[in-house]
Structures are given as C-alpha cells and as structure tokens.
Structure 1
Amino acid sequence: MIGERVKKYRKEAGLTITQLAERAGVAKSYLSALERNLQQNPSIAFLEKLAAELNIKVDYLIKENPDDVTDEMGASLDPEWANLVKEAMHSGVSKDEFKDFLEYNKWKMKQ
C-alpha cells in the first residue's frame, strides 16, 4: 500500500506528518489519511512532492519492489542475474562491452 510506504520513508527520514506536509506543501490531513489507508489513490503530483522531500524516487512509493528488473514481457528478473548486472555496472563494464561479450558467447556456443 502506498500509504504504508509513505509512512515508512517518512519515519526513516525522521519527519513527523506535520513536517513532511509543510515541506512538501501538501495538506497534513490528506497525508495523514493516506498513511492510514483512508485515501488510496493519490495523484502523481502529490507523490512527486513527497518523494522530493524524502529524497527518494516516486517508484519507491508506488512499487512494492522498485528495484525489481523486469523483461519486456513484465517477468521479474532473477535477483541473482540482477545482482550480476549491477556488479558489472559498478565494476566499470560498459553496455557495449557487455553486448560484445554476449555476442562472443553466442558465437562460441555455435562453434
């Protein structure tokens, strides 16, 4: 639920509902209702204001698992694969180098 995620990130930021509402320029009553799941469909603009103040991406408020990587069919990428890709990225492997490796591997398997 969005409200539960808002509350989680607000508390992690060490903010009260009043503080977050004031900083984001939103109604405290609406924010409170959202956190208590009385309101369940906030606008993207509302969530963008909250996310900006919480220093997070809107995805972290909308998605249950914002770091999940999915393929073009919407299937989740195995976490181990996702970690391998992240490791390659952080070690300096470029997209082109990764593509070259995949092409080489395909060629090698055909031999």
Structure 2
Amino acid sequence: MTNVLGEKIRRLRKEKGYTLDKLAALSGSSKSYIWELENKDPPRPSAEKVARIAEALGVTSDYLVDNSSVSPDAAVLDEAFYRQYRRLPAGTKDKIRDLVEIWSKEA
C-alpha cells in the first residue's frame, strides 16, 4: 500500500528545497515526525499537524490527505494563498490589492 500523504509531503518539501529540519521548524513539528509521515505506512498524523505542514508547503490539508489528487491544482493553491492572505496585517493587504490593481490594468 502506498503512503500518498508521505509522498506528497516529500515531493512538495523537495520542490521547495526544504530539508526535514526546515519543514519541521516551519510547521512546529519534529524532524522525526516529518520523517515518519513521509516513510511510515500508514502514517497517523493529527489534523492540527497536517494543517501546519500544509500551510508551510503552500497547499491545503484537504489536498494532502486526498488520495485521489496527485498534484495541487490552481484551486488548491488559490485556497492556500487566500488563507495566508487573510492572516496578513491590514497594511500588507492594502499593498497586495494595490499591486493587483496595477497588474490588472496591464492585462
């Protein structure tokens, strides 16, 4: 049986150039916990840990635990971006909206 969750975490981690240590630090996990998720079958993650790992990797937790999707589609990436955007300070959001307005005029 394939550990789809572990394969996704490993692939996304490597695509971002993260070591086990780096992803562990970004997600508030331990290096050994990330290793176990990537290598044990079946992994036994908590929902909170999956959410933190997904955030660090720029995807949604739904994508990580979905055995049917192989790579994140635009909707998954947009949702992850929007979740991150919602936590930004108001001034940063204003700057992003200004940039989008400039870019949309160029299109």
TM-score, with structure 2 as normaliser? 0.56
Partner of residue 11, structure 2:
8
State the shift of 1:38 in Å: 5.3
Structure 2 spans left out of the alignment, 5+ residues: 71-107
Greater relative contact order, per chain length (Cα 8 Å cut-off, separation 6+): 2
State the shift of 1:27 in Å: 1.1
State the shift of 1:53 in Å: 0.6
Q: 1:22-57, CA deviations, whole angstroms, 9 ceiling, x for partnerless residues? A: 111101111111111256110110100101111101
Distance 1:61 1:32 in 2: 15
Partner of residue 19, structure 1:
22
Partner of residue 61, structure 2:
58
**RMSD over aligned Cα, in angstroms?**
1.8
Distance 1:59 1:66 in 2: 10
Q: 1:5-29, CA deviations, whole angstroms, 9 ceiling, x for partnerless residues? A: 1111111111111100011110111
Q: Percent identity?
A: 33
| Equivalence map 1:47-86=2 (5 Å) | 47-66=50-69
What is the aligned length? Answer: 67
Q: 1:30-88, CA deviations, whole angstroms, 9 ceiling, x for partnerless residues? A: 11111112561101101001011111011221012349xxxxxxxxxxxxxxxxxxxxx
Structure 1 spans left out of the alignment, 5+ residues: 68-111
Which protein shows a greater Rg?
A: 1
Distance 2:53 2:21 in 1: 12
Q: Structure 1 counterpart of 2:21, which letter?
A: T
Considering fraction of residues, name the structure with more helix. Answer: 2
